[in-house]
Amino acid sequence: MRSYSRSLRTGLFAAALAATMAASGPGLAADAENTLYLDLKDGRVTIAMRPDLAPRHVARIKELVRQGFYDGLTFHRVIAGFMAQGGDPDGDGTGGSGVNIPAEFSNEPFRKGTVGMARSADPDSADSQFFICFSRTRHLDGKYTVWGQVVDGMKHVFRIKRGSESRNGAVSNPDRIIRMQVAADVKEIGRVRDLRMPVVRPRRRRWDDGAGTPSPSACPPGRVGG
């Protein structure tokens, strides 16, 4: 009986690991250096970075991630049907790391899961703040830098706390980024544990599909109050 239980646990662990890798896709598995793990309160979000579209943005974001810059920062501006914006150390849309990144606009469309860089009216004012789109957002195309795409865990993004419509999406007591990591820096066993895969008792853990995508908003990302 013990032998059977041990074999069952081993098999479930292997299946969980295989499922994790399958969800990431073959391209991500081969390019861990350009894959980000964004840990939220509801689970892990996997982002495929796009150095082919925005090499300077990707390089700077990886630098900040490896410094632990984003860990604990809030999603200070979240608009239903539009996007969730975070990455501001001041938490009000006015802060950054102190290093601006020149614009790297492209023809890549903004759609559900697209990760772009927030900025002020100056196209070259991007710093550390980024946003994740909830849906197709055509009015951003060619006007903001696309540097990544959510490839797994979008249901967790949908569960980020929304902001007030009357305050341009500003969030009271906002959700936080638990941790951001470059996949190449994460050990495989750590990935499985952090994803909270059901290894021993899978029937007692159920994923929540998250909220559906609401209708789009017309307000472009920027700095609250700026």
In whole angstroms, give the CA distance from residue 22 to residue 24: 5
Query: What is the structure's pLDDT at 199?
Result: 36
Domains and CATH numbers, the chain: 27-186 (2.40.100.10)
What does each C-alpha distance from 190 to 62, 104, 124, 211 come to in angstroms? 19, 34, 37, 28
Give yes or no for residue 76 having a pLDDT over 90: yes
Give yes or no for residue 79 having a pLDDT over 70: yes
pTM: 0.73
pLDDT tier at 187 (50, 70, 90 boundaries)?
confident
> What pLDDT digit, counting tens, does each position of 96-121 carry?
999 999 999 999 999 999 999 999 99
Residue in 131, 74, 75, 67 with CA at minimum distance from that of residue 99: 67
DSSP conformational letter for 159: T
Q: Higher-confidence residue: 38 or 10?
A: 38
Under a CB-based contact definition with an 8 Å cutoff, are residues 48 and 196 in contact?
no
Burial class of residue 21 (count of CB atoms within 10 Å of its CB; 0-12, 13-18, 19+): middle
Q: Higher-confidence residue: 16 or 122?
A: 122
Q: What is the mean pLDDT of residues 131-153?
A: 98
Query: What is the structure's pLDDT at 51?
Result: 98
Tokens of 159: 């569960």
DSSP conformational letter for 170: B
| DSSP-based three-state secondary structure for 188 | helix
